[in-house]
Amino acid sequence: MSIFVDTNTKVVVQGATGHQGQFHIGEMLNFGTKVVAGVTPGKQGEEVHGVPIFNTVQEAVMETDANTSLVLVPARFSKDAVFEALDAGITTLVVITENIPFHDAMEFVHYAMYKGAVVIGPNCPGIASPGKKAKVGILPSGIFVKGHVGVASRSGTLTYEIVNSLSERGIGQSTCVGLGGDPIIGTTFIDALNAFEQDTETKAVVLVGEIGGTAEEDAAEHITQHIRKPVFAFIAGRTAPPGKRMGHAGAIIARGKGTAKSKIKAFEKAGVKLASFPTEIADLVEKYG
């Protein structure tokens, strides 16, 4: 098994004929993903790597039974793209686009909740389940190995480093999901933890957090009450100057919460094994997992 995407995932790419769309369609196909359609208005009848292009998501869904969308359109069009996909019956959306206005993200995340759909992102690298299951997004394919460790991360580049170190150690992954670093995101640490807890293939979970917000503190409390599988974590931003905003739009510290210190303390209290450096995650998983 895996979480959110699997062998039944059929992907439509919104923004398929642009440079990024064309490149990542090829990468996803090579990974084993069923990319069944692309959407670019006015381009119907064209193909990208053999994938047919449609004018609308509705037409793509009707012709291909697509159930998952990868949103690669520019920020100013992203809200409309997500609404279009949800209204066409798409049940899982991966929104890669960054710099989406706060209120736009708030609107489409809540509309997805109303529709009962899963949104991963925005401003995220996507999700991958190794073993010829599915990759939906822009994560580098070569770092993954099939296995039993679930990974959920707020940081794209740290995700790649940690997954690569796990794979080099022979520790495979069940699913890796990049949550995104914006203040408003769809899938949270808690959502991922609940999914991994129910996934029989996942035996341990790695969380990659960073300063800002309270997502890690909330996750720690949830782990204490609901998660029985071993959890490991790394928190980025330990050396950030006090009071300085760093990196992602979500990296905002306020009222004593959101600091690396507060997140580490919360995870330690929950019994989570913490790494001081990204590459130490593999050591911890190997020792305790």
211-234 pLDDT, tens digit per residue, is: 888 999 999 999 999 999 999 999
pLDDT at 250 over 60: no
pTM of the model: 0.93
77-130 pLDDT, tens digit per residue, is: 999 999 999 999 999 999 999 999 999 999 999 999 999 999 999 999 999 999
pLDDT at 247 over 60: no
Q: Which candidate in 19, 103, 226, 248 is catalytic?
A: 248
Helix segments in 180-227, DSSP class H: 189-198, 215-226
Residue 1's SS3 state is coil
| Catalytic residue list contains 248 | yes
Q: Is the four-CA dihedral 249, 116, 175, 263 of positive or negative sign? A: positive
- Nearest 5°: CA angle at 27, between 169 and 181? 70
**Rounded mean pLDDT of the chain?**
93
Between 152 and 244, residue with greater pLDDT:
152
- Nearest 5°: CA angle at 12, between 7 and 17? 135
How many secondary structure helices (H) and strands (E) does the chain include? 9, 14
CB atoms within 10 A of CB 56: 14
Alpha-carbon Rg for the chain, nearest whole angstrom, is 18
pLDDT score for 242: 60
CA dist., res. 246 & res. 181, Å (int): 11
138-187 pLDDT, tens digit per residue, is: 999 999 999 999 999 998 899 999 999 999 999 999 999 999 989 999 99
Question: In terms of DSSP bridges, do strands 47-48 and 51-54 run parallel, antiparallel, or are they unpaired?
Answer: antiparallel
Amino acid type, 215: A
Q: Tell me the domains of the chain and their CATH numbers.
A: 10-120 (3.40.50.720), 140-288 (3.40.50.261)
